[in-house]
Amino acid sequence: MSKYLQVAGFLDNSGANGTGLRSVLFVSGCTFHCDDCQNKDFWSLSYGDRISTDEIFKRIKKNSAITDGVTFCGGEPFQSAEALSELATMIKTEGMNLWSYSGYTFEQLLNSNDPHKLNLLGKIDVLIDGLFVKELFDESLYYRGSSNQRIIDVQKSLSLGKVVELTF
Ligand code: SF4
């Protein structure tokens, strides 16, 4: 049976949340509450619409002829890891590229005892990790807001057992 996600927003083809044109899913719910977060409305788990993973995937597939991949944003995607893992499986089965943002660091996710977080991490190609730190904000950075955040090649990092960062 399909799982449900609380969805704060969806962009059919955005050029701002990863390489190329991407479908971007904004998931509601984030307990981190960073200062100057740009998506404060999305902190509440009740914000937005409850939508099944099947329905979201249909919309992603509809765009797939013109998009280069999918990006999960938030809110905090890894606080909805169970349903997002299911959606990530559908996306990867189609051979699509998958990025995700997270306020958790790669190490925190890897060392968490939460099977859903680990499952989701294992399906992602690129992770932009870490909290937004307003003192480290730098508008010249690509795909991230503050310089503490890293753009990580997840599959390479998992296979080598150390963080492999991508530079843009
Ligand atoms: S983790 Fe992201 S969504 Fe959550 S408060 Fe920080 S910047 Fe906002």
Tens digits of residue pLDDT in 103-160: 999 999 999 999 999 999 999 999 999 999 999 999 999 999 999 999 999 999 999 9
3-state DSSP percent of the chain in helix, strand and coil, to 5:
30, 25, 40
Tell me the percentage of the chain whose pLDDT exceeds 70: 100
DSSP 116: H
Distance 65 CA to ligand 1 centre (A): 31
**Closest residue by Cα to residue 5 from 100, 76, 102, 107:** 76
Distance 127 CA to ligand 1 centre (A): 14
Atom number of ligand 1 nearest to Cα 101: 2
Q: Is the pTM of this model over 0.85?
A: yes
